[in-house]
Structures are given as C-alpha cells and as structure tokens.
Amino acid sequence: MRLLVRSWNLYHGRTHPQTSTLHLEQMVRLVSADAPDVVALQEVPMWAVARLGAWSGMQSSWAMTMPALLGPLARRVTDHDPERFRSTLTGQANALLVNPHFELGRHRRLVLNPGLSRKDWLLRGGQRRVCHTLEVDARGVRLVLANLHASNDPDHVLVKREINRAASLLVEKQRCLLLGDFNVERYEVPGFTAPIEGIDQILVRGLEIERGPEPWLEERRRVDGLVLSDHAPVEVVIASTS
C-alpha cells in the first residue's frame, strides 16, 4: 500500500501577497481533491475546524494553539478585513486530515513552549506552539503522525528546542512521520530522513520513501491569478508497506 502525505500552512486562508478576501475552504478542497491519505495543516482558524471533514471528505483531528477571543463573531470581523485581523481574534489550530478508511487511535497534544504564561496566551495574543500526534492504522500498517508549528523566532536555539520536544513524543515509535512548519531552515532530527530546503517539512522514520518530500510548484496553488498561502504544500509518497 502506498501513502500520499501532505503538509500545508494555510496562512488562515490568505493569499500571497495578501488581498481582501479569504480562500480557506478553497485551499482545503484543493489540497484534498485527489484523495491523499494524510494532510497536516497549520494556521487553521478555530471557526473552521468543525468544517474540515465536510470540505475534505476526510477524518479530522485537531489541537488548539490559540483561543478565539471573539468566538463566532471572529469570522465576520476577519472576513471584513483579513489583512488587519488574524489569529488574535479567530484563534487557530493544527489539524490532521486522514483517509476515511483508516482507523484512528490515540491522539495527544504537547505544548512546545510551556513557559508561555496563561495570561500571555489568553489576554495578550501569545501563541502556544503545539505538537499534535495521532495514531493511525492504515489498513493494518500502524504509524504515528505528529504535526507541529514551531515558533517564528530569530532565536533558533528556542525553535530547535521546540522541534526536539515534539520529536520526543515519537522516541519509541517505529513508524512515524514528523510534519509541519518548523520555522527554521533544514533542521535535521536524529533518526528521521533528511529535511528539504525551506521550513516546511515531512520527516519519516521506519517507512520507505518512493518520492519526495517536495514542495508544490507555485502553479498548483495559483487560482484566478492568486497564490494561495505564503507557504507551498509539501508532499511525499510512502512506498508500499506491509
């Protein structure tokens, strides 16, 4: 059995460069249109997490990184002015979309920057960085998915510490994938495949890679003259497993 796996930072549905409209549903439908087996998403507004399954036709699991301060009203505010308002109002989450025929097991959520105070998180717009893991039975092949979005911080020591903390969740897992927006260039994690150019990664352990990882060409995410997100999806094909 082959597995098609993708990771994409959705940029809250914005385009690059930014415009006055959001394209979140369009992005989710695009990245899931050809029935991939796994899609890891970052920067998903909280109002959208309940819609991911309907938009993608896949099973969804998510972990909040920021609460939505305005609740349901946040979507109206950001729709009115998406260039000005972003995650502070809408909140955001990491999400994993999985083949509807796969069996889902235990999921865990690990805060990667536990030093962030609750006041900074809830009242000052501080962003918790989270690794969200999900056990999956892919027609008899058991593996663990780990989706992270590390801090966007010039202190790469801090960022690398977060990535290593995420990898610690997988230390005893034989077959696993570490995916997401690492926010540091080409960071290598011991025991996993080598990273590619850029900050968006899919690292693999215990599974054979048939193709990739590789980012999409810009044309694949260009719609009506707009480039969706400021990140390109990254994808990999896992070879036949048994």
Maximum mean pLDDT: which of 65-79, 121-135, 199-213: 199-213
The model carries a pTM of 0.90
| pLDDT band of 149, cuts 50, 70, 90 | very high
Q: Which residue has the higher pLDDT, 148 or 128?
A: 148
The parent domain of residue 130 ranges over 3-238
State pLDDT tens for residues 1-43: 799 999 999 999 999 888 878 999 999 999 999 999 999 999 9
The count of domains in the chain is: 1
- Cβ neighbours of 146 (radius 10 Å): 24
Q: Where residue 106 sits, what CATH number does that domain have?
A: 3.60.10.10
Query: Would you say residue 235 has pLDDT above 90?
Result: yes
Output the 3-class SS for the chain: CCEEEEEEECHHHCECCCCCCCCHHHHHHHHHCCCCCEEEEEEECHHHHHHHHHHHCCEEEEEEEECCCCCCHHHHHHHHCCCCCCHHHHCEEEEEEECCCCEEEEEEEEECCCCCCHHHHHHCCCCCCEEEEEEEEECCEEEEEEEEECCCCCCHHHHHHHHHHHHHCCCCCCCEEEEEECCCCCCCCCCCCCCCCCCEEEEEECCCEEEEEEECCHHHHEECCEEECCCCCEEEEECCCC
Predicted local distance difference test score (pLDDT) of residue 125: 57
Q: Are 52 and 95 in contact (CB under 8 A)?
A: yes
What's the rounded mean pLDDT across residues 159-167? 96
State pLDDT tens for residues 63-90: 998 877 655 555 555 554 545 445 556 7
